[in-house]
Each structure stands twice: as structure tokens, then as C-alpha cells.
Amino acid sequence: MEEAIIPMQIVVLAAGHGKRMNNSELPKVLVPLKGKPIIKYLLEAIKKSEVTNKPVIVVGQKADIVKQTLGPEYNYVFQAKQLGTGQAVACARDLLKDKAANVMVLYGDHPLITPQTIKRLAESHLKSEATITMATVRVDDFNGWRKPLYDFGRIIRDQIGKVVKIVEKKDAAQDELKITEVNPGYYCFQADWLWNNLPKLKNDNVQQEYYLTDLTALAVHQGQAINSLEIDAPEALGVNSPEQLKILENLICS
């Protein structure tokens, strides 16, 4: 009997180096936050959301340590070279093709996203029947604990408010940097469209990486529907430096 195709699978990107964390012993997702590996917060939120039973974790740097720490209740895929978020998600293609109708992408170093938001993102995507559903965050400014959000990609909308593209901060013009609606990078995709379009990504950007964010402009160009869901700003925060880890420690306490 053929396996039933599940409505939604979650892919967690967890292959990063964490070069700026000043902790060469541990992969970034295992750096402790209030005594618990960063990624554990996300995995607990996924479990409580009940969106999927067994998320896929893309591992890379010190993959054995990550798998040993997290245990056998997850599916793991290996990313040999870190060539960007688009390439990371592509590593899950063989495991998920024809097994999940939709794919949600989350990040192992973003610990504050709540079970409720994960569930809302999945429900909004399934209800909208859009090709892509993306979370967005609006802030008044980039001061205080919001400072890390300045480094996020900017959401570019047309005159009627439709998302037309995302511009990474490194590639943004000065007027684009003034936009205060940013992209936390949480997406749902219709799986068939995702697997067909990931190979079309190009790395002609400052970082020479394959950005998952470029799928948005690709979908717009194809006339595909894009749905967006606004989430609370703290849920967008990740950990890329000891300073950002401190910000999260303070937010978790408050």
C-alpha cells in the first residue's frame, strides 16, 4: 500500500558554522540559551504545534554531534557545503518529494517562534492555497532589541500591497533599507512548485549564495499567488553573535 502524502512537513535548517559565536567546539544550533541548546526551543514549539510528527533537520557542521544530542525522533539530511538557504532546502528534496504536499522552512537558531505561530502559518498556507506563504514582521524602528532585525531582508510590495520581492540587506539600496517590514525567513511552499523551482535559483549576489528568498520574485514572475502572515517581532530573532544571544536571554526572561 502506498504511503499517504502528508499535508505539511517542516524542514529545519541547522547546518551553519556559527563562526561569530566564539564557540568553536559546538555547532551554532547547540550553543546553550538559558542552559538549553538553541534548537531545542524550536523543536519543542514544533512538537506542540502538532503540524508534523517528525520534522526534517538539515545538518552540516559537526552533524554527528547534532544528531547525537537531538536523538532519533527526527529525520536528518546532510548539507555538505554551505551554499545558502536555497541549497540547504534542496538537500531535503529526495527525502520529501512525493511524500509531503507542502513544506514549511524554519531555522534551528531562531528559538522564539511559538507553537501558535507555526500552526497559524501552516493553516494560513493551506487555507489560502497560495504557492508561497511567508511570515513578515513590522517594527517602528531598529533600536534596542530590534537592532538585529536591521540585517534582515526587506519586504518589497507593489501599490496594492502585494509582495513582489525580498531584497537582502547586503543587496539593498538606501531607500530600501528604510523599509521597516522585514523577512524572518519562515515560509510554506507548495512542494511540487518548490522542488521544480529550487534549481532555477542563481547565486549572483554579494554572498554568492543561493537564497531561498529569491523564490518569491520567481513566483511573482510566474504569476503565482503569494500569501503573507504578520507575526510578532521577537519571534523573528535568531542568534548570529554573542550579542544577539544576550538579547534573546533578556527577552526570554522578560
Query: Which band of pLDDT confidence, cut at 50, 70 and 90, is reported for residue 22?
Result: low
Q: Is residue 81 part of a domain?
A: yes
CB contact burial 74-96 (16+ within 10 A = b; e otherwise): bbbbebeeebbbbbbbbbbeeeb
Q: Is residue 4 part of a domain?
A: no
Query: Is the pLDDT confidence value at 208 over 90?
Result: no
Domain that holds residue 236: 9-253
Q: Is residue 119 part of a domain?
A: yes
Q: Are 108 and 239 in contact (CB under 8 A)?
A: no
Task: Give the mean pLDDT of the chain.
Answer: 93
Q: Is residue 1 part of a domain?
A: no
Q: Are 155 and 226 in contact (CB under 8 A)?
A: no
Query: Which band of pLDDT confidence, cut at 50, 70 and 90, is reported for residue 171?
Result: confident
The pLDDT value recorded for residue 41 is: 97
Element (H, E) at 167: strand 163-167
The pLDDT value recorded for residue 168 is: 87
Query: Is the pLDDT confidence value at 204 over 90?
Result: no
The pLDDT value recorded for residue 197 is: 97
Query: Which band of pLDDT confidence, cut at 50, 70 and 90, is reported for residue 26?
Result: confident
The pLDDT value recorded for residue 24 is: 64
Query: Which band of pLDDT confidence, cut at 50, 70 and 90, is reported for residue 234?
Result: very high
Q: Is residue 116 part of a domain?
A: yes
pLDDT, one tens digit per residue, over 114-167 is: 999 999 999 999 999 999 999 999 999 999 999 999 999 999 999 999 998 899
Residues in the chain: 254
Average pLDDT over residues 220-239: 96
Q: Are 58 and 15 in contact (CB under 8 A)?
A: yes
By CB neighbour count within 10 A (0-12 exposed, 13-18 middle, 19+ buried), where does 64 fall?
exposed
pLDDT, one tens digit per residue, over 64-86 is: 999 999 999 999 999 988 889 99
Residue 205: DSSP 8-state: S
Q: Which residues are catalytic?
A: 20
CATH number at residue 183: 3.90.550.10
Q: Into how many domains does the chain fold? A: 1
Output the pTM of the full model: 0.94
